[in-house]
Amino acid sequence: MIRICILLSFLLTGILPANAAGPTGKGMELLMVEAAGCVWCARWNKEIGPIYPKTDEGKRAPLRRIDKQDPLPEGIWLARGFFYTPTFVLLVDGQEKGRIEGYPGEDFFWGLLDQLVSSVDKAVSANAD
C-alpha cells in the first residue's frame, strides 16, 4: 500500500522514479526482439543502442534483449507473436502495453517510443483517479 501511495504521489507531481515498479515489482521495460543477420537490428544497435541507457526512456524502461528464436522469458505476456525484427515491446510488470515493429529510423523510433510511454502514463493516471 505504501509503494502505491508513493508512486501516486510521484505521478501527481509529475516526477517519476527511473524505473518505478508496479505491483509485481518489475516496472517498465523495453523488450527488443532481434535476430542474427537482421540489418535493421544492426542499424538500431549502431544508432540507438549506445545512447539508449543514458536517455530518460532508457532509465524508465531499461532494455532487455532476446533472440527471435529463443523462448520467451518467464513472466512475460504478449498480445501476439513476433513477425519482424527488430520488434520493441513496452512491458509493464511483464505485460505488453504496446510495440514498435521494425526500425523506422532514429527520429521515428523516439517519437513512437514516446507515444507508447505516454499511453502507459495516461492509463496509470486514469486508474489513479
pTM: 0.77
Which domains, ranges and CATH numbers included, belong to the chain? 2-128 (3.40.30.10)
Long-range contacts of 1-9 (CB under 8 A, 24+ apart): 8/128
pLDDT in tens, the chain (129 residues): 333 333 333 333 333 333 344 333 469 999 999 999 999 999 999 999 999 999 999 999 999 999 999 999 999 999 999 999 999 999 999 999 999 999 999 999 999 999 999 999 888 777 766
Q: 76 is written with which cell numbers?
A: 512475460
3-state SS class at 19: coil
As beta bridge partners, residue 33 has: 66, 87
Residue 111 has a CB neighbour count (10 Å cut-off) of 11
